[in-house]
């Protein structure tokens, strides 16, 4: 029985104290390492995701390939690679959905509308 006139705040404090005593003392080593393992897994997964996103945005290459826009070596700079296989410096290819040389478009809208045109021709 909890007396009705107990202030709610002190109950909260007791709850927090109770919970923290569990975390501090009552988890076994095994339980702790399980939690750590899962956290590490999550971290790994997030890093992998981030890595993939970065890779799709740009790659760093060490090829002696010329950038077709400024005609200097791609070298160690950040480059952008387009789906049709051409690569340019990030600063030379500012629009990720249009090749600066062939003007080929890679954004979803262009692909959709070109499909629409194909259908129209039929």
Residues that bind Zn ion (CB under 5 A): 67, 69-70, 89, 92
Nearer to Zn ion, 86 or 92 (CB): 92
Nearer to Zn ion, 3 or 85 (CB): 85
Provide, rounded to whole angstroms, the least separation between the CB of residue 103 and Zn ion.
16
Provide, rounded to whole angstroms, the least separation between the CB of residue 56 and Zn ion.
20
Nearer to Zn ion, 68 or 105 (CB): 68
Nearer to Zn ion, 5 or 104 (CB): 104
Provide, rounded to whole angstroms, the least separation between the CB of residue 77 and Zn ion.
8
* Long-range CB pairs of 12-15, under 8 A, 24+ apart, other chains included: none
Provide, rounded to whole angstroms, the least separation between the CB of residue 72 and Zn ion.
6
Instruction: Name the closest residue to Zn ion (Cβ).
Output: 67
State residue 105 phi and psi, 5-degree precision: -100, 140
**Pairwise CA distance, residues 57 & 109, whole Å:** 19
SS3 98: strand
Q: In what order do the strands lie in the sheet with 59-60?
A: 59-60, 78-81, 87-89
């Amino acid at each position: 029985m909890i007396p009705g006139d107990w202030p709610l705040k002190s109950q909260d404090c007791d709850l927090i104290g109770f919970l923290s005593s569990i975390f501090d003392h009552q988890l076994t080593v095994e339980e702790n390492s399980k939690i750590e393992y899962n956290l590490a897994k999550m971290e790994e997964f997030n890093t992998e995701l981030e890595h993939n996103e970065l890779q799709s945005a740009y790659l760093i290459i060490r090829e002696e390939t010329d950038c077709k826009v400024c005609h200097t070596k791609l070298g160690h700079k950040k480059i952008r690679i387009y789906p049709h296989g051409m690569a340019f410096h990030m600063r030379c290819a500012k629009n990720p959905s249009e090749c600066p040389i062939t003007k080929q478009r890679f954004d979803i809208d262009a692909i959709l509308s070109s499909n629409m045109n194909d259908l129209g021709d039929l």
